[in-house]
Structure 1
């Protein structure tokens, strides 16, 4: 289904065809151009929808935050003026050639791009865990867990890149 993770794409992937699966983190519609920030467990990458690909562009216009999607495209280097030094993938983007909406999403009670009240975060804890700061807290113990996993009878978890949340 996927060939790479969003957050692991780098300059070394330029020119390669990739298939990514993840969620729409943010969508920017500039009329004939659509950009999305696509998120998976490893990070975020920018996806660009070319106006010459009318079918993918039309489908991209329907995208909203938290839609689960699959994108196939070519990794390309961003122009010097468009490089985002704040992102690990800020020097590249994916030029989409194909888009599949795996699942649509209703508006969520928490917005991952804005500050939410503590009361809302507690009420919707299961959604709050998707925020990068909270998800990182679940991922960090992975190194320690890899040492202890056989003791718990779950040696396959770290090997298959799973996160154990009790």
Structure 2
């Protein structure tokens, strides 16, 4: 009887093995990493989000905007704008605006998810970001100069 129970237990474990082998890569893969470049800074002056929305739409045409409440992560409640997409949406240039106490946090990024972005994608994105910064300075009085750029998940030769 003990041999029968031992055999059944082994057969049961063996029947689960294909499922475990198929599911294991999914469990180990996790989330795709963010890649690209960005900068972030807290400003003491308030930001007119409606002015930002209008200026980006006039400059770039199609702009995606979301207003959200923070999930407790690193960025506060706020409004992100996606105004330039590269390679049919593989990567986006975004501007996030959110309140942090008495300050306003602004984050400007060009990022994609997954594989490293080609180095050739950065110069046009940086040109779009410079255009957005200039537009926002003129239209809304937002001075985004002096924000330090950092690499996100990959080397970015255009920052050298």
TM over 0.5, shorter chain: no
- By relative contact order (CA 8 Å, sep 6+), the higher-ranking structure is 2
Sort the TM-score into its range (normalised by shorter chain): under 0.3
TM-score (norm 1): 0.26
Select the structure of larger CA radius of gyration.
2
TM norm structure 2 = 0.27
Q: Specify which structure has the higher proportion of helix.
A: 2
